[in-house]
């Protein structure tokens, strides 16, 4: 019987830890005369928690939309597990192993937590309409197998008490957890976290941070996180890409990025020379 851990640790077989999972090279996306992404390049390694930060309007979500094939960049390359994602449909990208937790909760309020999570298994429900309608034979067997994965996700995210509640009745922090759970149910090799703690209070943020760490430690998933909470990013990320007005301005470890003069200038609006001379030890505000 497959478990959540069995389902989500397949990446370790595909790509050894530390090897490149996703490679983006010279990505460019423009809307008319506005350059949303302008020459962004980075790679994400197997088992890594990679973060993308920057001021509002810097192009962070646009990068996610390019990876997910919601947007099609005019130039550049996006390779995942050695194959290009460019020109593929969003559902093909999902089947390739890229799942996304959205910034704005995209759940069905009238469905239960269990049903919302089962929607994350739709890529793995391979049976015809006839057997599905009568819920017999192959359909029943496959449904039960996928239900086990969903129940593991419920246990992993500690939402057992809410499993039969309509999502519309749940507090915001639990909804965000269900949003994360639906992405996990897709069995991704790469998980995109779009502002996972946006709008959360301190306790909810700490809970989400703990689950993100557990996903990396216990399930071995590679993740890209876009987030405005600098304290969370600096605590969790292995490497960070900083973008401003669509352009990359720094890439490195949290310690390297915090002390980069262009990063300080982007967040604080200070003059480059002043920062370089007098403020080298100043950190990006959390």
Q: What is the pLDDT along the chain (286 residues), one digit of tens a residue?
A: 566 666 665 544 466 777 899 999 999 999 988 899 999 999 999 999 999 999 888 899 999 999 999 999 999 999 999 999 999 999 999 999 999 998 888 899 999 999 999 888 877 666 555 455 555 556 666 777 778 889 999 999 999 999 999 999 999 999 999 999 999 999 899 999 999 999 999 999 999 999 999 999 988 899 999 998 989 999 999 999 999 999 999 999 999 998 888 888 877 665 544 333 334 444 444 4
- Per-residue pLDDT, 145: 79
- Per-residue pLDDT, 272: 44
Cα separation of the two ends of the chain: 44
Structural domains in the chain, sorted by start: 4-110+172-177+187-278 (3.40.50.300)
- Per-residue pLDDT, 277: 37
Pure H helices in 53-108: 60-67, 90-96
* 285 close to 230: Cβ distance less than 8 angstroms: yes
* 178 close to 184: Cβ distance less than 8 angstroms: no
């Amino acid at each position: 019987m497959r478990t959540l851990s069995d389902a989500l640790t397949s990446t370790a077989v595909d790509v050894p830890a530390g090897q490149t999972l996703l490679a983006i090279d010279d990505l460019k996306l423009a809307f008319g005369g506005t350059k949303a992404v302008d020459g962004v390049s980075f790679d994400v390694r197997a088992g890594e928690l990679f973060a993308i930060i920057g001021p509002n309007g810097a192009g962070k979500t646009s990068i996610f939309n390019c990876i997910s094939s919601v947007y099609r960049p005019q130039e550049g390359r996006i390779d995942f597990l050695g194959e290009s994602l460019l020109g593929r449909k969003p559902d093909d990208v999902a089947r390739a192993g890229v799942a996304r937790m959205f910034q704005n909760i995209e759940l069905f309020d009238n469905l239960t937590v269990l049903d919302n999570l089962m929607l994350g298994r739709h890529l793995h429900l391979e049976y015809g309409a006839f057997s599905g309608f009568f819920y017999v034979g192959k359909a029943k067997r496959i449904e039960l197998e996928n239900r086990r994965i969903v129940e593991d996700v419920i246990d992993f995210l500690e939402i057992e008490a809410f499993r039969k509640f309509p999502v519309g009745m749940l507090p915001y922090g639990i909804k965000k957890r269900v949003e994360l759970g639906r992405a996990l149910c897709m069995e991704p090799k790469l998980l995109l976290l779009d502002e996972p703690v946006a709008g959360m209070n301190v306790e909810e943020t700490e809970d989400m941070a703990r689950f993100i760490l557990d996903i990396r430690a216990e399930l071995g998933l590679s993740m890209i996180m876009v987030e405005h909470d600098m304290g969370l990013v600096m605590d969790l990320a292995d490497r960070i890409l900083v973008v401003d007005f669509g352009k990359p301005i720094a890439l490195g470890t949290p310690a390297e990025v915090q002390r980069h003069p262009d990063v300080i200038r982007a967040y604080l609006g200070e003059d480059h020379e002043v920062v370089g001379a007098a403020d080298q030890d100043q950190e990006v505000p959390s």
